[in-house]
Structure 1
Amino acid sequence: MKLPKDPVMLLSVVNTDLRDHYPSLAELAKAYGVTEQEIIDQLAQINYEYKPETNQFR
């Protein structure tokens, strides 16, 4: 499965997967074959940043 290109849709998919399947952004990124920075950069476009202490983007 590929990650959505739209940042709002990406946010939903990433936060759900982080909550339900992956203990870290690194593991999620590896599973999808992308870099952590690619996800971080896309979500920064809508002013979200990764919070490792809660394992989600806020």
Structure 2
Amino acid sequence: MSIETNFNQDLIMEMDPFILLSTINTKLRNDFSSLPALCERYDLNQSELMAKLGEFGYEYIGEINQFRMP
């Protein structure tokens, strides 16, 4: 089963933070023009995703459509 077919809220909340960061940033770079668009497509809770990555010091920067450390 690929991550594409199994990408959901439960999976992202259990993922290693560095794999999650890489996966989300790759999807944002290659497939989505914004975080809300990605979250809508996969029915993800945007606030929870941002909080999860925020726990490790990352924040979403809309101008560059990526999560990065400030």
Query: TM-score, structure 2 length as denominator?
Result: 0.75
Paired residue for 1:50? 60
Compare CA radii of gyration and give the structure with the larger one: 2
Give the aligned partner of residue 27 of structure 1.
37
Q: Amino acid of the residue matched to residue 29 of structure 1? A: C
Using CA pairs below 8 Å that are at least 6 residues apart, which structure has the higher relative contact order?
A: 1
Q: How many positions carry a matched residue from both structures?
A: 58
Structure 1 unpaired stretches of 5+: none
Q: Percent identity?
A: 41
Structure 2: gaps spanning 5 or more residues:
1-5
1:41 aligns with 2:51: yes
RMSD: 1.1
